[in-house]
Amino acid sequence: MSLRLLSRVASNTSWVTTRVPLAIRQNTSFQTRSFTSLLSIMPPPNKRRKFKNGGKNSANLSSKAAKPDGPEQQAKPVERAAPSPVQASSLEADTPRVPFSSLAGKIDSNVLSAISAMGIETMSTVQHRVMTELPSLRSDCLVRAKTGEGKTIAFLLPVLQSLITGETAVPKGQVSTLIITPTRELAQQIAKTCDQLTSQLARGIECQVAVGGTSRASAFKRFMDRSPAILVATPGRLVDYLNDPEAKEKMSNIQTVILDEADTMLEIGFLERVKEILRYIPPKSTGWQGMCFSATVPAKVKDVVSTVLAPGYTSISTVNENETPTHERVPQYHVVIPYIGDTFTSLTSLLRHEAKSNNKIIVFGVTANMVALFAAAFSQGLVDLPVFQIHSRLTQAARTRVTAQFKEATSGILFASDVVGRGMDFPNVDLVVQVGLPEDGEQYVHRVGRTARAGKDGRAIIMLTQAESYFLRVNPQLPIKPHPELDTIQATVPELASEVDEAMDRVDPAVKARAYSSYIGFFAGSGRLKKLQLDKAGLVQLANEMAIKGFNCPEQPEISMKIVDKMGLKGVPGFIFSNDSAAKPRHPRRKF
């Protein structure tokens, strides 16, 4: 029998409403709840109501074809261990808001004027503490602060003041300050903030960006031809520059090294790059200042921190270790759906409900290709808000364009992967929705941090399947409560089925196929199958259910046998293989 004829769980299946306890420490052992079978009897048809929308609300950018992608990984939280810091550890709430004008005489008046022109009058806690608690503006420091608390200005002010006074002056053409950050978008955001802070100086301070995904030749030529005092770079592109002898010479007088989002930087995948960068630049013994800024500080960074920071460095934390790691202004809710095939109808119902009181929303998906499918579907008129998308499968030019558009937008839904999960500042985001499992609790926290920034209010919602709801139990320190209007959201799900199906029918099948493949790849390589109580065959069955009932495909999309092999799923039943002449020249299509 075709899976198309197999049913979704009855609409009156109860949604999880168990309140998650607060104030419980994070080190709770992983538990799993039984995985309910997804193949049950089809409920009686419900009367379906159409929503008038028109379907002309898309500001969407198409993603390009790519191989299946996995999660864009974030650092996992562990206990901090750092060598010999001088502690300065009062809590965030202990410091009242202090105006930037109080820094007169300590920070150049033109920089203070620029801050005022940016519409910022008072310092955040981390900004105030960095400016008042460092022994000098050239002191090494490890600064831990919550996401969205203004770390960028906190580290730029000491750097700029030292450049203005000439304390970190270097020969013409040389780079004085390196700022290393994990993502292109964050690098561009830092550079933009730097340009704003220096906009009123009589003699400008040039800041350049070196990131992947852009034209290497033109960016490198600009770097070599001009005299940037500050270079903001992602690790890969910076290593590329440092491999060029002339570019390496241009960075032979570094005065300051800043690691922004240091926990992410020093995770596997970034750690070796950062160590390589530190081998290329002058040794710490030459006296350059080291600054590490991050929301979390895992123990595994100890060896790198000891290289970047001198013994006796100042440690500042605005995070209370005994409170929840997410911002206290963000109410957080969960919506647990009983059936994987209801993902798109449930998300439609949720977003329509939330859009009544929230104008600017970010929706995170588990993979870039799933994000592309969300954007493609919701661009068909499922919501009355402009639709944007940003993920690693877009070109850098497209990502830069969407970033600027959504920052300027007064309303809209941005479907996003974790390229914007950390550090990115989109003004006035009212709501963050996460669909599917985050990598871990820390990734969840950073995503939530995209809302309630700069003193504004915000909300956060995570939507999980019944099986995925184990995330709530193994992260009891997160204050995630049942959505207060679950019944209202749930009631409209059956009514939306035909409308969502029609929207899905207008989506390019290739977009669905890439999303299907990436969804399987996400779980196959994540080590989560045991927690979901699934084996490999169960995973393929689950993905097929998602494709047929969620994507409205007539059958599961075809997939390359080579990709299946790479996922470690060779021989697992349930796939329809695409024409792969190299692997199976006589069988254009096979079902297992």
Q: What is the CATH number of the domain that holds 163?
A: 3.40.50.300
The predicted pLDDT at position 251 comes to: 97
Query: Residue written as tokens 């202090």?
Result: 98
Strands 332-337 and 459-465, how do they pair?
parallel
Tell me: do 228 and 375 sit in the same domain: no
The predicted pLDDT at position 271 comes to: 80
Residue 58 lies inside a defined structural domain of this protein: no
Strands 480-482 and 387-390, how do they pair?
unpaired
* Cβ atoms 546, 344 nearer than 8 A: no
The predicted pLDDT at position 73 comes to: 40
Residue 28 lies inside a defined structural domain of this protein: no
One-letter amino acid for residue 133 of the chain: E
Tell me: do 469 and 541 sit in the same domain: no
Tell me: do 175 and 233 sit in the same domain: yes
Residue 94 lies inside a defined structural domain of this protein: no
What is 227-238 written as a DSSP string?
--SEEEE-HHHH
Rounded to 5 degrees, φ, ψ at 364 are -95, 135
Tokens of 202: 């009589």
Tell me: do 125 and 256 sit in the same domain: yes
Residue 166 has a CB neighbour count (10 Å cut-off) of 7
Element (DSSP H or E) covering residue 263: helix 262-265
By CB neighbour count within 10 A (0-12 exposed, 13-18 middle, 19+ buried), where does 318 fall? buried
Tell me: do 392 and 412 sit in the same domain: yes
Query: Residue written as tokens 């997804």?
Result: 38
Residue 169 lies inside a defined structural domain of this protein: yes
Tell me: do 550 and 454 sit in the same domain: no
Tell me: do 131 and 202 sit in the same domain: yes
Q: Which of 502, 518, 551 is the last residue of a domain?
A: 502
3-state secondary structure of 246: helix
3-state secondary structure of 176: coil
Question: Alpha-carbon distance 61 to 396, whole Å?
Answer: 12
Please compute, for residue 316, the number of CA atoms within 13 A of its CA located in the half-sphere on the CB side: 27
Question: Alpha-carbon distance 446 to 146, whole Å?
Answer: 9
pLDDT tens column, 279-293:
999 999 999 999 998
Tokens of 566: 């790479």
Residue 223 has a CB neighbour count (10 Å cut-off) of 21
pTM: 0.62
pLDDT tens column, 458-516:
999 999 999 999 999 999 989 999 999 999 999 999 999 999 999 999 999 999 999 99
Tokens of 572: 């697992």
Question: Alpha-carbon distance 225 to 445, whole Å?
Answer: 41
Residue 138 lies inside a defined structural domain of this protein: yes
Question: Alpha-carbon distance 31 to 28, whole Å?
Answer: 9
Q: Which of 452, 470, 502 is the last residue of a domain?
A: 502
Question: Alpha-carbon distance 292 to 496, whole Å?
Answer: 49
Count of H-run helices and E-run strands, the chain: 20, 20
Tell me: do 237 and 138 sit in the same domain: yes
The predicted pLDDT at position 278 comes to: 93
* Cβ atoms 575, 524 nearer than 8 A: no
Residue 181 has a CB neighbour count (10 Å cut-off) of 30
* Cβ atoms 485, 362 nearer than 8 A: no
Q: CB under 8 Å to 303, separation ≥6 — which residues?
A: none
Tell me: do 166 and 283 sit in the same domain: yes
Question: Alpha-carbon distance 180 to 260, whole Å?
Answer: 6
Please identify every stretch of the chain with a pLDDT value under 70, giving residue numbers as ranges.
1-96, 147, 266-269, 299-302, 321-328, 423, 454-455, 580-592
Structural domains of the chain, count? 3
Torsion on CA atoms 253, 258, 263, 264, rounded to nearest 10? -80
Q: Where are the beta strands (DSSP E) in 400-515?
A: 412-416, 431-435, 459-465, 480-482
Q: CB under 8 Å to 68, separation ≥6 — which residues?
A: 367, 369, 514, 517, 518, 520, 521, 563, 567
Question: Alpha-carbon distance 71 to 524, whole Å?
Answer: 11
Query: Residue written as tokens 């995070």?
Result: 319
Q: CB under 8 Å to 496, separation ≥6 — which residues?
A: 48, 51, 345, 348, 349
Using left for φ > 0, alpha for ψ between -120 and 50, and beta otherwise, residue 131 falls in alpha
Query: Residue written as tokens 């080579």?
Result: 562
- What residue spans of 27-124 are helical by DSSP H? 109-117
Strand order in the sheet with 207-210: 86-88, 314-317, 141-144, 289-294, 256-260, 177-180, 230-233, 207-210
Q: Which of 283, 317, 351 is the last residue of a domain?
A: 317
Question: Alpha-carbon distance 158 to 88, whole Å?
Answer: 18
| Domain membership of residue 399 as a residue range | 328-502
Question: Alpha-carbon distance 366 to 465, whole Å?
Answer: 13
Tokens of 536: 């490999």
Tell me: do 165 and 192 sit in the same domain: yes
Tell me: do 479 and 396 sit in the same domain: yes
* Closest residue by Cα to residue 71 from 507, 512, 371: 371
Rounded to 5 degrees, φ, ψ at 412 are 145, 165
Tell me: do 284 and 379 sit in the same domain: no
Question: Alpha-carbon distance 283 to 146, whole Å?
Answer: 31
The predicted pLDDT at position 423 comes to: 65
